[in-house]
Structure 1
């Protein structure tokens, strides 16, 4: 299968939506990502899920309920799932090889966490030679002691323009991005 574009869904796992401390605007995020996945599939582009793994006893412990991809955007049979241990989806994973085998040259990025895994993967994809589009309204995070989540997202949408085209979900696969 050869596709020039692929959708990378980064760390949209059940633990990120825990009722005690859910990601900011989580339901809206899931709706945007559902739309992106549907559009990718309609256009024949692969959807690749990135799944972060942490140690035993953590919310993202491999095999735990929190570690699972969020059920509302669950992978279909045949979708690739790449497990990672660091914020960089390329570091010590098979992602680059998988993308090369698929003939992917362009990546559309969405998911979590804006200032960690989304940022790092965006920069790494650029460094690996991919054309990158960051979906400006389809990544999220939590408030920090210094900044509100919206400020973090806005800041990263601005900074990551050095490494990616930044476009809204409605612009993806419509000619705008």
Structure 2
């Protein structure tokens, strides 16, 4: 049984875009992934936690090129004070985006990370979150990637499930891995108050 972990203040949904979860180019078992990510989003909203949908802006000709069908977020978004969409151009969702400022202003000190791809954008975003001092929880069944094809003289094909598990392991002891999305609990953060102007 997965040990209980304290609730987190926020959910980062990484690149759950149609290019990666729908159609012939979807990650393996995309339906399961969408179900688990959907559960996390619903639970976060119900608890008043902060929800961030990261959306990758791919280069021209890529399946996630801005404005193309594959670029669109696949799950419904309820944008508002506690739920936002942020575009990014690199694997790391914190790189040259206002993500850290948004989380800090909202009082977030702990978060769960889910989405695609396990060893790329999910991993890079989780690693930076830990480096910035956030407590990070990663539900094993709520992130995914593709199989690694065979490479002559190096290895045979590596199944996607093994790639995802290795990505978790490579994050080290700082991340809290839980078995499933159902093991993640949320709570509303307490926004930080603005400091009064000097002399007030």
Normalised TM-score (structure 2): 0.81
Moved more, 13-22 or 35-44: 13-22
- Compute the displacement of 1:18 (Å): 4.1
Q: Distance in 2 between matches of 1:109 and 1:27?
A: 18
Q: Deviations over 1:50-98 (max 9, x none)?
A: 000111221111121111100xx22113121111100000011110011
Of 23, 46, 61 in structure 2, the residue corresponding to residue 42 of structure 1 is 46
Of 128, 133, 137 in structure 1, the residue corresponding to residue 141 of structure 2 is 137
Specify whether residues 15 and 174 from structure 1 end up closer, same or farther in structure 2 by C-alpha distance, changes over 3 A only: closer
User: Is there any run of 5+ residues in structure 2 with no aligned partner, and where?
Assistant: 1-7, 150-156, 188-200
Q: Is the 8 A contact 2:92 2:128 kept in 1?
A: yes
Q: Distance in 2 between matches of 1:174 and 1:81?
A: 19
Q: Deviations over 1:145-170 (max 9, x none)?
A: 14100111122222324231011211
Q: Distance in 2 between matches of 1:58 and 1:18?
A: 15
Q: Is the 8 A contact 2:33 2:142 kept in 1?
A: yes
Q: Is the 8 A contact 2:21 2:30 kept in 1?
A: yes
Q: Is the 8 A contact 1:6 1:108 kept in 2?
A: yes
Aligned to 2:191: none
CA RMSD of aligned residues (A): 1.6
Q: Distance in 1 between matches of 2:166 and 2:32?
A: 19
Kindly indicate whether residue 181 of structure 2 is the aligned counterpart of residue 158 of structure 1.
no
Q: Which has the larger radius of gyration?
A: 2
- Compute the displacement of 1:12 (Å): 0.2
User: Is there any run of 5+ residues in structure 1 with no aligned partner, and where?
Assistant: none
Q: Where is the helix percentage greater, Structure 1 or Structure 2?
A: 1
